[in-house]
Amino acid sequence: MRALIIYASHYGSTKGIAERIDGKLRERGLEVTVASTDEAGDRAGLESYDAYVIGSAVHAGHWLKPAVEFVRSHEALLAARPTWLFSSGPIGEKYVHKPQPEPAEIADFRRLLDVRDHVVFAGAFDPTTADLTKGNWLERQVSKRFLPVGDFRDWPEIEAWANRIARELNAVAVAG
């Protein structure tokens, strides 16, 4: 089974989650490729994958525009294969332990694609490593002054989710 993990990351947290999922799927014997939405959009052979895992950072209740555009532009292909979605969003002790709403686009994606699951993972923010050039002036100011600093990702939760994906894909491979 070949899986493609695609991510849109603003400050690097979502990329880190995608890389951890990659590691778990590989441990379970799957052939995996990880790519940003920019890299994946230009990749020839998207149709050669058996499954997709797509993740995006969430800002103001929405996936990042590159992730939404990737899904919409490859909707027919993604609808024909099992797809898992993840969102990376809440940071700060005040928010990460509370139930999180699904980003606005997820309900539409569920109708259009073969979405097996969607989860919202806590994120991370480190101003010393974050690429603050991606946002506009207001986003840079908010990032510098108001975002809680720290890594709030629950790695065991992320790994357990990746292991569930691997079990499902390996079961399909055995049955097929």
Domain containing 111 — which CATH number?
3.40.50.360
How far is Cα 42 from Cα 83, in angstroms, rounded to an integer?
Answer: 19
Q: Which residue, 54, 76, 57, is CA-closest to 3?
A: 54
Q: Please give the distance of CA 119 from its chain centroid, rounded to a whole number.
A: 9
Per-residue pLDDT tens for 126-156? 877 777 676 677 776 676 777 888 899 999 9
pLDDT at residue 96, as a whole number: 83
Per-residue pLDDT tens for 24-61? 999 999 999 999 998 887 666 899 999 999 999 998 89
Q: Is 70 within 8 Å of 54 (Cβ atoms)?
A: yes
pTM: 0.91
How far is Cα 148 from Cα 150, in angstroms, rounded to an integer?
Answer: 7
Query: pLDDT at residue 74 above 90?
Result: yes
| Residue 41 belongs to domain spanning | 2-175
Which residues contact residue 121 at a Cβ distance below 8 angstroms, ignoring those fewer than 6 apart?
A: 17, 86, 87, 88, 89, 153, 154, 157, 158
pLDDT at residue 176, as a whole number: 53
Please state the rounded mean pLDDT for residues 67-73: 96
How many domains, the chain?
1
Q: Is 38 within 8 Å of 69 (Cβ atoms)?
A: no
| Beta strand spans in the chain (E) | 2-8, 31-36, 51-59, 62-63, 82-88, 114-121, 124-125, 150-151
18-22-23-26 Cα dihedral, nearest 10 degrees: 170
Task: Give the chain's length.
Answer: 176
pLDDT at residue 146, as a whole number: 73
3-class secondary-structure state, position 64: coil
